[in-house]
Amino acid sequence: MGLTEPQGATPWRHVEGPCTASPLLLVSGLGGTAAFWAPVQALLRGRFRVAAYDQPGCGHRDPSDGPVSIARLAEDAADTVLSIFGARPVTVVGHSTGGAIAQFLAAARPDLVDRLVLSGTWLRADAYMQALFGYRRALLGRAPELAQGLTALLTEDMAGISAASLAPRPLTQGQIASVVARIDALLAFDGVPLTGQIRAHCLVIGARDDRIVPPSRQADLAGALPAATLEMLSEGGHFFPRTRPDRFVRCVETWLSAGDRAATRHGD
């Protein structure tokens, strides 16, 4: 019984857990890397066959040909499911932009998605998100070395922000182009037409102190889905799967264990 996929052949994906365990795919956000999920994957691998992967143009993977879109990223996610788990339904966990990808995947390929966990994500970009990500896009065009500092201001605990967090960090032209393309893709995403096509039961998770995708966006998403459970963490910021992995995994495992098929709402 294998626990970890052999290293070297596919450095852009991390697969761990018993081969006979229930399959679970982790889909990351704007950064698009498997590494985002390391704390969560370490906690889930005892119970699930859990996979995380780099999206095209991120981490260890080269960009794909053609424009970036949520639809194409969902196609890549479907290919990843098939290559790792075969043609069987899996639990898909998507955070932020990964949640948009997961929504599209669940609507387009219901045969591959058993249950859906949508974390720190949204139904469609409203005026606040258009302004925030539009500003981040403009900053990447005018002063890309400051982009990481803005992310720190929006995601780190306010008491922990330091000069090191805000220090300029140069980006290559390839990195800039990749992030800009992904911002354009997430802003263009509209999940409203997908809600009637998503058959999988959903857990929607947010954090009350998320300054990138505020909790009202998770409430709107859960309200639009026909069978959704909403969990709201009291804190953790936008990157709560990394800053509060124990709480995040507890929410996911409790919901999966309960097999709750009713739409409920309760807090942390």
Q: Where are the domains of the chain?
A: 13-123+190-267
Span 85-132, pLDDT tens digits:
999 999 999 999 999 999 999 999 999 999 999 999 999 999 999 999
- Closest C-alpha among 82, 38, 59, 87 to residue 239: 38
CATH architecture of the region 13-123+190-267: 3-Layer(aba) Sandwich (3.40)
122-150 pLDDT, tens per residue?
A: 999 999 999 999 999 999 999 999 999 99
Which pLDDT value is given to residue 88? 93
Q: Is 66 exposed, middle or buried (0-12, 13-18, 19+ CB in 10 A)?
A: exposed
Q: Determine contact, residues 80/54, Cβ cutoff 8 Å.
A: no
- Structure tokens belonging to residue 223: 């309200």
Taking the C-alpha atoms of residue 268 and residue 252, their distance in angstroms, rounded to an integer, is 13
What is the C-alpha separation between 82 and 78, in angstroms, rounded? 6
Q: What is the mean pLDDT of each run of 10 residues along the chain (268 residues)?
A: 55 94 98 97 97 96 94 98 96 98 98 98 96 97 95 86 92 94 98 96 97 96 94 96 97 88 45
Would you give the end-to-end CA distance of the chain in angstroms?
A: 36
The pLDDT of residue 5: 62
